[in-house]
Amino acid sequence: MADAVRALNHVFSTHVLEDLLESGFSKTFQIAADKSVSDFGSMTYGQIFTGIYKYLYRNQRNEFVYQDVLFRKLLQKHSPRTTVAFRQLPVGDSIADFVMINGCGRAYEIKSDLDTFDRLEQQLLHYLTVFSYVYVVVPETRFQEVLDLLSTFAGYGNYIGVYTITRRNAISAKHIRQAQCCTDFLDSKSLFYMLRKPEYEKVLLKAFGGLPEVTPVHYFSSCLEWFSTLPVLKQQEYVMKMLKRRKLANLQISENIQDGLQSLVYFSDWRYDEKKLNALLRSDYRRR
């Protein structure tokens, strides 16, 4: 049972797709299929993925299910030329489950049917060092519970938005609270650490027209020092632009990929050949 639960939690992953594309076999995929699909018969890989997808939505709404709902209901409403998204983005000592950037950035912490609120306070504080809009995403049945908990987070709890996911796997229009802009916790070091070296060098060149001329051992700290002299809202603006640019080369959302895999392919930065992937999904599966 533990192996089946673990497989279902990891079957929609880049590792599984890579294994299937390379060899036609993934132990995780097979265990998940055994648990969720009653009769393989002459089913294709794509049909089995659909069966697993439906099983998760009905019986085991894990983090992937919630990320997929956010992807379909939030990201796909926007133009891919103006809006990008990340999943599992490191922010401070936490990892944001879902991040969406258009004019500004929004971080979403998912607490699925299977999660507790044990680390929520710490996670939200980390996100607020980088993002001005932060949300918690929970099952609709836990709406009042999370509101009550947020009210105990002095100084920022009332700024946190709440989205709830219905049993039909939609964002509830009734049990919802929009996030309020909060800039009190923005932190220069946290913002700078979001950037890769070529990105923060571009920021410094743009802002100062040059880069620190110091020894290599002092280069990083000098770049951080320069960056920190900018107004913190300007720092945040630069970071959002760099994160958005990082995703622009891979921002397409293909309607030719079947439901349940579109978000996975998008967040993998399109490392797969679409024709090869669709050929796999149309081919018959044979259990080993």
Q: What residues make up the domain containing 197?
A: 188-248
Examine residue 272 and state whether it is found in any structural domain, yes or no.
no
Q: Sorting pLDDT into bands at 50, 70 and 90, what band is 38?
A: confident
Examine residue 179 and state whether it is found in any structural domain, yes or no.
no
Examine residue 263 and state whether it is found in any structural domain, yes or no.
no
Based on the fold, state whether residues 88 and 155 are members of the same structural domain.
Answer: yes
| Residue 32: burial class (beta carbons within 10 Å; 0-12, 13-18, 19+) | buried
Q: Sorting pLDDT into bands at 50, 70 and 90, what band is 236?
A: very high
What pTM was estimated for this model as a whole? 0.92
Based on the fold, state whether residues 201 and 234 are members of the same structural domain.
Answer: yes
Based on the fold, state whether residues 123 and 210 are members of the same structural domain.
Answer: no
Examine residue 257 and state whether it is found in any structural domain, yes or no.
no
Q: What angle do CA 43, 45, 47 make, to 5 degrees?
A: 55
Query: What does the DSSP assignment read for 245-265?
Result: HHHHTT----TTSPTTTHHHH
Number of folded domains in the chain? 3
Closest CA to 74 of 176, 156, 143: 176
Domain boundary among 20, 41, 60: 60
Cα–Cα dist 78/14, whole Å: 25
Based on the fold, state whether residues 148 and 216 are members of the same structural domain.
Answer: no
- Specify the pairing of strand 161-165 against strand 133-139: parallel
Based on the fold, state whether residues 71 and 160 are members of the same structural domain.
Answer: yes
Examine residue 181 and state whether it is found in any structural domain, yes or no.
no
Based on the fold, state whether residues 2 and 48 are members of the same structural domain.
Answer: yes
pLDDT per residue over 130-173, tens digit each? 999 999 999 999 999 999 999 999 999 999 999 999 999 999 99
Based on the fold, state whether residues 70 and 161 are members of the same structural domain.
Answer: yes
Examine residue 73 and state whether it is found in any structural domain, yes or no.
yes
Based on the fold, state whether residues 123 and 44 are members of the same structural domain.
Answer: no
Based on the fold, state whether residues 50 and 84 are members of the same structural domain.
Answer: no
pLDDT of residue 280: 92
Average pLDDT, the chain: 91
Based on the fold, state whether residues 70 and 148 are members of the same structural domain.
Answer: yes
pLDDT of residue 270: 59
Is 254's pLDDT higher than 70?
no
CATH number of domain containing 117: 3.40.1350.60
Q: Sorting pLDDT into bands at 50, 70 and 90, what band is 77?
A: confident
Based on the fold, state whether residues 123 and 78 are members of the same structural domain.
Answer: yes
Examine residue 285 and state whether it is found in any structural domain, yes or no.
no
Based on the fold, state whether residues 140 and 207 are members of the same structural domain.
Answer: no
